[in-house]
Chains A and B, each alone.
Chain A
Amino acid sequence: LAKTTQPISMDSYEGQEVNITCSHNNIATNDYITWYQQFPSQGPRFIIQGYKTKVTNEVASLFIPADRKSSTLSLPRVSLSDTAVYYCLVGDIGYNFNKFYFGSGTKLNVKP
């Protein structure tokens, strides 16, 4: 199982772009990269998922280099409500899906 490494915490200010990088050196060929957001007293919420290059949705972008040993979650123009813990996970979501293990996560603190 690919282990992920993320910064423990990050600070930002409202309106800034925030980039959170995750290392997953042992990612397997069939593994996808998935990011979750968790607010206090709530379960994690799916943000974005990708396999390679760049994926963008209405809330974030995910950048994955060619070697796939890392990924970067990009949050454009953060607001106070983006203060949360962000988790990076890797795993096979296809036929061989088994389970996801959570790493330590990155606690993002957005300041006014």
Chain B
Amino acid sequence: SAVISQKPSRDICQRGTSLTIQCQVDSQVTMMFWYRQQPGQSLTLIATANQGSEATYESGFVIDKFPISRPNLTFSTLTVSNMSPEDSSIYLCSVLRGDEQYFGPGTRLTVT
């Protein structure tokens, strides 16, 4: 299994500001993923972050809005920039280990 922690667990932010979410894994992994889950909805993949390369963004998500860092094999950050109320969601990081994908507990973001 994989132990994944995220910081912060939740935050309330003002419109126009930015928030950086941290994801820490208990051991080295190659592939990390960032998802968004809006209230009552399924998970939507934002981007794939592999160490040593630029993140790959899904359709509808851009680097200027969601910059991602992947400085090493156990850590990644996702920044939600210039926030609006529509960005209120749970943001989850995920890693692939073996045949299984493991998820962090999520960061609940509320934008006012």
- The total number of A-B Cβ pairs within 8 Å is 43
Chain A interface, number of residues (Cβ within 8 angstroms): 20
What does DSSP make chain B's interface, helix, strand, loop or mixed? Answer: strand
Most chain A CB within 10 A, of B43, B99, B100, B105, is at B43
Choose one: B4, B45, B99; the contact of A101 (CB below 8 Å): B45
Most chain A CB within 10 A, of B42, B94, B96, B102, is at B42
The minimal Cβ–Cβ distance linking B32 to chain A, given in whole angstroms, is 11
- Does A13 belong to the interface (CB within 8 Å)? no
Chain B interface, number of residues (Cβ within 8 angstroms): 21
Q: A41-B106, A42-B106 are in contact. Are A105 and B101 (CB under 8 A)?
A: no
What does DSSP make chain A's interface, helix, strand, loop or mixed? Answer: loop
Choose one: B42, B96, B104; the contact of A43 (CB below 8 Å): B104
- Does B103 belong to the interface (CB within 8 Å)? yes
With A and B bound together, what is the CA distance between A76 and B99 in angstroms? 24
With A and B bound together, what is the CA distance between A46 and B1 in angstroms? 10
> Which residues of A line the B interface, CB within 8 A?
32, 34, 41-46, 49, 87, 93, 97-105
Q: List 6 A-B contacts (CB under 8 A).
A: A34-B101, A41-B106, A46-B101, A49-B99, A99-B33, A100-B45
